[in-house]
Every structure is written in structure tokens, then in C-alpha cells.
Amino acid sequence: MSVPIISFFNNKGGVGKTSLVYHLAWMYHELGLRVIAADLDPQANLTAAFLDEQQLEEIWLLDKQPNTIFRCVQPLVRGIGDIATPQLYNLKSGLALLVGDLFLSSFKDNLSAEWPGCMDRKELSCRVTSAFWRLLQKAIRLHNANVVLVDLGPNLGAINRSALIAADYVVIPLSPDLFSLQGLQNLGPTLKRWHEEWGERLNKNPVAQLPLPTAKMQPVGYVVLQHLQHSNRPDRPAKAYQRWIDRIPNTYRQTIVEKANQDIEIYNDPFCLALIKHYKSLMPLAQAAHKPIFHLKSGDGAVGASVKTAQESFGDFEKMARNIARNCRAYRSNGKAV
């Protein structure tokens, strides 16, 4: 069975997507999986979350090996060859990073130009368009990975189109606000169109020996992030957030999975993978320490009740990780989402 590639995508920025991928990468590692975190966002925020400035300088400024996503596709950009074999950054035994690169944005023009060429059975067009998927397959074999988590930028451009056709599953991070609900209106039809358009191109592969992604792009659910808690009900969001949260289940059904409306609370929605509260001062502490929240100690600046909150967050992230795995398994075994 193929190794699942799970992309985390929302065309709205600022929802906490990168932090979500970062914490899930650590959590799946804690659960005993061999994990690759792949930074396909040209802003490279996921890479900056894992690595400190000195490490970034050594990679970005001093080393010319194919150890970033851009350096791996650079032969295609220059027209001198195919993708290079990636050199993953080993963060810990079993946890590796496919390093992001600000220069990846320059690959956008190649991806845009070659997309139509796939319909004309041009080999270069198919190689360029499938570059991310083929690169991830190389990384999977190198790392003997069990799962790949992919961080994407907040836009509907050519880089994300090619990254998403490489994905088996898509998780959509949301904020409990009007902007996220409006963003779903664009996201659903775009995912469907890209899936259909790649299906047309897949059938026109000019080289039998060239493996191409099947582009499952199966939406398996959403995660609601960064809500504040109700003052009298710590297990529930504050009222100002609840009004938007109540609208998410049916908006997701209508725009993403094209299912009929249901009278269902988000707490009973199988597409809701988690509601992750706002961790306030703990998140900056985690970023400064280059640790997930659930690894923070008093020496990292977590004091008093914050230590207990950090410890309790482990359960929240573990439950979410298992929910994502459950929904992916349901699709793999039944051919449809839960």
C-alpha cells in the first residue's frame, strides 16, 4: 500500500496552518511513525519553525547540495535535467524535513507554462507538472516513511495546484470567522476543477515509463484553530466564535464534499478533525524554543498553569492526529470519506 501524502491547505492565510503541520509532524513521530514534513510553501515558514537561524544559514547560503525543495527542481527550471534526489534534514530519528526555499516561487512560471502542454502529450510538461509528487516519492523511499505531511501557501496558484495533485488527502485548517467560511466558497470548486483537469492530463502521459500521480486529493476533514474558550465552559469556544463555528459543518458539506445539509453540531461532525483552542503565550514560547507546545518545560519559559496546559495539549494533538488517520483509512478502505 502506498504511503499517504496529506496536504494542509487553505487559500486564506493566518489560520495557523503551518503551526498545525509542525505539531502534527511531532505528534505522529511520538506515535511511532516515520514522518516527512515537506515545506512546499515559498515562504518557508515550516522550515523556519523546525530550524534555527544558524541552521538556515548553513543550508540556504553555504550549501549548494539538493537539500531544499527548490534545488531539487532546479534542473527542470534551468532545462538541464529532471528532478534531483532530495537530501532530507534529519530532525530526529524517524522525523525528517524536506527543506523549504524562498526561491521556490520562481518555479511558478514553469508550472504555469507547462500545464497546458500536458494536454498536448509533451513529456517535459508532464515531468514539470508532476515534479513535486515524484520528488516526494523519492523522499519516501529514502526515509522509509510512513506518512508525509505537506505545508502549502495560502493561494490558488500554480505551485499549490501541482502540490495538491501530489496529495492523497487534504485537510483544511479554518479559523472561526467569516473569512474562513468565505474562503471555502472558492476552495471547494477549485479543488474539484484541479482534480478533473489533472485526470484529463493523466490519460495523455506520453511516456509509459514516467510515473505520474493519480491525484486523489480526497478531502478528509477540517480543523478549527485559535478560538478562545468560554469563560464558564472551558470545553466550549467563546460565544463570539461559536456563531461562526456553528456554520462550518454545512458550509464544508456544501462546498467541499458536495453533501446535503444536515442538522449536526460540529462536536458530532465526522468531518471535524479537531477544535484546537488558542494557546496564547504558549505558542510564542514554542516557536522560540523550536519545540511543539506539548514538549515545553519550565526551562522554556512555561510557568505556573502554563506547564499544565502544555502537558494537557498532548492529548488534544494526539486525538486530532488519530482522527486524521481514521478518516484517511476510511477513505482508503471504502473509496469515500466517512
Given this model, what pLDDT does residue 231 score? 47
Given this model, what pLDDT does residue 305 score? 78
Distance in angstroms (rounded) separating the CA atoms of residues 132 and 162:
7
Given this model, what pLDDT does residue 338 score? 27
Mean pLDDT (10-residue bins), the chain, 338 residues? 92 87 97 97 96 93 86 92 95 97 96 96 96 97 97 95 97 91 89 95 91 93 75 60 88 87 87 89 88 88 82 93 93 48
Lookup: cell for 132 = 513535486
- Residues in a beta bridge with 148: 5, 36
pLDDT in tens, 122-173: 999 999 999 999 999 999 999 999 999 999 999 999 999 999 999 999 999 9
The answer to whether residue 306 is domain-embedded is no
* Ramachandran quadrant class, 237 (left: phi over 0; alpha: psi -120 to 50; beta: rest): beta
The answer to whether residue 290 is domain-embedded is no
The answer to whether residue 313 is domain-embedded is no
The answer to whether residue 296 is domain-embedded is no
Residue 66 sits in which domain range? Answer: 5-279
The answer to whether residue 112 is domain-embedded is yes
Given this model, what pLDDT does residue 174 score? 93
Distance in angstroms (rounded) separating the CA atoms of residues 201 and 197:
7
Question: Closest Cα partner for 84 from 11, 43, 135, 132?
Answer: 135
The answer to whether residue 285 is domain-embedded is no
Return the CATH number at 229.
3.40.50.300
89-92/95-98 β-pairing: antiparallel
The answer to whether residue 245 is domain-embedded is yes
Given this model, what pLDDT does residue 278 score? 80
Given this model, what pLDDT does residue 234 score? 55
Given this model, what pLDDT does residue 335 score? 46
- The answer to whether the CB of 138 falls within 8 A of the CB of 17 is no
Amino acid at 238: A
Given this model, what pLDDT does residue 237 score? 63
Question: Closest Cα partner for 1 from 323, 335, 333?
Answer: 333
Q: Please give the tally of structural domains in the chain.
A: 1
Model-level pTM? 0.93
Beta carbons within 8 Å of 229's beta carbon, 6+ residues apart: 235, 236, 237, 238, 277, 278
